[in-house]
Amino acid sequence: MAPKLPAVLLAACAFLLALAAPLVAGEPDMLQDICVADYKSLKGPLRVNGFPCKREMNVTADDFFFGGLAKAADVYSGNPMGSAVTTADVEKLPGLNTLGVSMARVDYAPWGGVNPPHVHPRATEILFVVEGTLEVGFVTSANRLLRRTVSKGEVFVFPRGLVHFQWSVGEAPAVAISAFDSQLPGTLPVAGALFGASPALPTDMLARAFQTDGGVVENIKSKFPPM
């Protein structure tokens, strides 16, 4: 028979699990109905985990409204990726503050418009294809690519923190709506982070990391000017 764990050890494990739970459960629960972001506070002291709340008497319905996802973004002129993401997060929709959710609209040019490999450090994403057909995928930490086609009306999930992409493979423009379990998921495009950071990552280091030469790295860097 397996030896019994001492009660004190079990209690210690339970305590550690309880401490860890908020770390895996996404953003913290609210302690009030609403906490509409007070953007004016941006001029004040540095914010930690969201914005301070507006006084409730100053809150209006407009604080919970954002019309910016109604319109398609331009994915053609001066757009090397052929895609554009329009976010509806707490930076545009103040009523989202402390609610732990947000959305985005992604427009893709037909045949090859790509939302390039990127990561959301703070959110899982669930994507609904409104129009068109997408090839989508993410890479696990075992370096396995999970990839498939997703068509109009279908849904795909990208787990938090994993590199993922969407690629339009239909002959009509594609549109997707994504939902995130964070008011501000953050987006780190892989190529931009490595080749367009400011200050720049050392060319020699990148050349070694990618097993190539400095000329190739400089060439890629020239396509990702620091923002």
Binding site for ligand GLV (CB under 6 A): 85, 104, 106, 115, 125, 166, 178, 187
**Partner whose binding site includes residue 129, from ligand GLV, Mn ion, none (CB under 5 to 8 Å by kind):** none
Q: What is the C-alpha to C-alpha distance for residues 18 and 16, in angstroms, rounded to an integer?
A: 5
- Residue 168 binding: pick among Mn ion, ligand GLV, none (C-beta 5-8 Å cut-off by kind): none
Q: How far is the CB of 178 from ligand GLV (least distance, A)?
A: 4
Residue 82 in tokens: 């052929």
Q: Measuring CA to CA, which residue among 51, 118, 34 is closest to residue 90?
A: 51
Q: Is 97 or 187 the residue whose CB approaches ligand GLV more closely? A: 187
Residue 104 contact, options ligand GLV, Mn ion, none, Cβ 5-8 Å cut-off depending on partner type:
ligand GLV
Q: Are 221 and 200 in contact (CB under 8 A)?
A: yes
Nearest distance from C-beta of residue 36 to ligand GLV, angstroms: 24
> Footprint of Mn ion on residues 124-143 (CB under 5 A)?
125
220 binds, among ligand GLV, Mn ion, none (CB under 5 to 8 A by kind): none
In the complex, minimum distance from the CB of residue 185 to ligand GLV, in angstroms, rounded to a whole number: 7
Question: Which of Mn ion, ligand GLV, none is residue 69 near (CB under 5 to 8 Å by kind)?
Answer: none
Q: What is the DSSP string of 174-195?
A: EEEEEEESSSS---EEHHHHHH
Considering only CA atoms, which of 125, 114, 108 is closest in space to residue 166? Answer: 114
98 binds, among Mn ion, ligand GLV, none (CB under 5 to 8 A by kind): none
CB closer to Mn ion out of 54 and 120: 120
Cα 5 to Cα 91: distance, rounded to the nearest angstrom? 49
Q: Of the two residues 41 and 140, which places its CB atom closer to ligand GLV in the complex?
A: 140
Residue 130 CA to residue 174 CA, distance in Å, equals 7
Other Cβ atoms within 10 Å of 128 Cβ, number = 16
Smallest separation, CB 106 to ligand GLV (Å): 5
Burial of 21 (0-12, 13-18, 19+ CB in 10 A): exposed
Are residues 169 and 135 in contact, defined by beta-carbon separation less than 8 angstroms? yes
Q: How far is the CB of 155 from ligand GLV (least distance, A)?
A: 13
Binding stretches for Mn ion (CB under 5 A) = 125
